[in-house]
Amino acid sequence: MSGGKVLAIDIGRSTIKSAVLERRERAFVIGEVEQSPSPTGDVTEPLLDLLRRKLKAEKGVGAIGIGTTGQVAPSGYVSAAITDLYREEIRLGTWLAEKLRLPVLVRNDVQLMALGEALYGAGRGWSVVFGVAVGSGVGGGIVRNGQLDIGAGGIAGECAHVRAVDSEERRSCWCGGKGCLEAQVSGLAIEDRYHAMTGAQALATDILRSARVDGPAAKLVSSVVRELATGLGTLACCVNPDGFVLGGSIGVALAPLLALLQEQMSDHAYRAVRRTKLRVAELGVDAQLYGAAVLCDAVLQQ
């Protein structure tokens, strides 16, 4: 093994973040985070170039941990559904490991967010953490006793298509269903719903901020809180976590409404899980990078 450092990568639709994290006793310490625009068409070759450059500059890296948007199988196989990042389906970890001759582990980015928050952020002290990222879309990840639970096919925690509403407000989702969390409470959904109500264009984070003084915004945000609370109540019953960590731009923007969200989640939840806690993520963009480092921990210990 080359050393006790992890090169961590977070691949998003618009940005690739990278940093070297080093294990010092029982914790990882993160170095400077570099951000660069995600390439269009196919991320694989530019990613390989980035990794080679980082490895040349930083000695002692023992493993590479990668979080990527999209569906990732246990083997590190990335679905081609993310056509703006991957030209074809690829076993990304295997391909990079062969090129770089280092262990490369790949997981979904929100799963790694959950792992980072569970060990270093808002989920510290909980045995079972359910991380939910609400941004342009919705995603989730489950951590049990410090270990990422990815399920049989790699998608455990995927909560975008949990039904959040069954009334006339339910919206069609790209998955073919209606009333899914992603179709109701994601940033893109909030902006689309606001435009339908008012004819005006506004960013979702601005809509959330204006909810206290703006009638249409207040009505919409009330629906969003109720629908997210309904979805979280369902997830609480299924997974029984100590609590949820809300991340993503919308999740963090909902912080002033956290008490209301907690109350409504408890109202909607089965009584045995009504005490499920709710916290806002603490690590920001670093969460996935910490999660990637933790993912590689067993490799570093060999």
Please give the single-letter amino acid code of residue 159. C
Q: Rounded distance, CA 299 to CA 302, Å?
A: 6
> SS3 of 151, please?
coil
**Burial of 242: CB neighbours in 10 Å, binned 0-12, 13-18, 19+:** middle
Q: Which CATH number fits domain 5-109+285-301: 3.30.1360.20, 1.25.40.20, 3.30.420.40, 3.40.50.2300?
A: 3.30.420.40
For residues 285 and 33, the answer to whether their CB atoms sit within 8 Å is yes
Going 104 to 109 to 111 to 116, the CA torsion angle's sign is positive
Q: What is the dihedral of CA 219, 181, 272, 254, to 10 degrees?
A: -50
pLDDT tens track for 100-131: 999 999 999 999 999 999 999 999 999 999 99
Q: Rounded distance, CA 203 to CA 190, Å?
A: 8
pLDDT at site 3: 58
**Burial of 153: CB neighbours in 10 Å, binned 0-12, 13-18, 19+:** exposed
Q: Domain 122-282 class?
A: alpha beta
Q: What is the dihedral of CA 172, 176, 179, 185, to 10 degrees?
A: -80
How far, in whole angstroms, is CA 98 from its chain's centroid? 27
**DSSP-assigned letters across all residues of 4-35:** SEEEEEEE-SSEEEEEEEEEETTEEEE-PPEE
Q: Rounded distance, CA 180 to CA 228, Å?
A: 10
77-78 and 90-91 strand pairing? antiparallel
Q: Rounded distance, CA 41 to CA 108, Å?
A: 19
The alpha helices in the chain, defined as continuous H runs, are 44-57, 92-100, 109-120, 181-185, 187-198, 204-209, 215-239, 248-253, 258-268, 287-295, 297-301
Instruction: Considering the chain, tell me which residue range(s) the CATH 3.30.420.40 domain(s) occupy.
Output: 5-109+285-301, 122-282
Q: Rounded distance, CA 64 to CA 1, Å?
A: 12
pTM for this one?
A: 0.92
The segments of the chain whose pLDDT lies below 50 read 1-2
pLDDT at site 227: 95
With tokens 């959950």, the residue in question is: 114
Start-to-end CA distance of the chain, whole Å, equals 7
Token pair belonging to 259: 């008490």
Q: For 269, how many CA atoms within 13 A lie in the half-sphere containing its CB?
A: 25
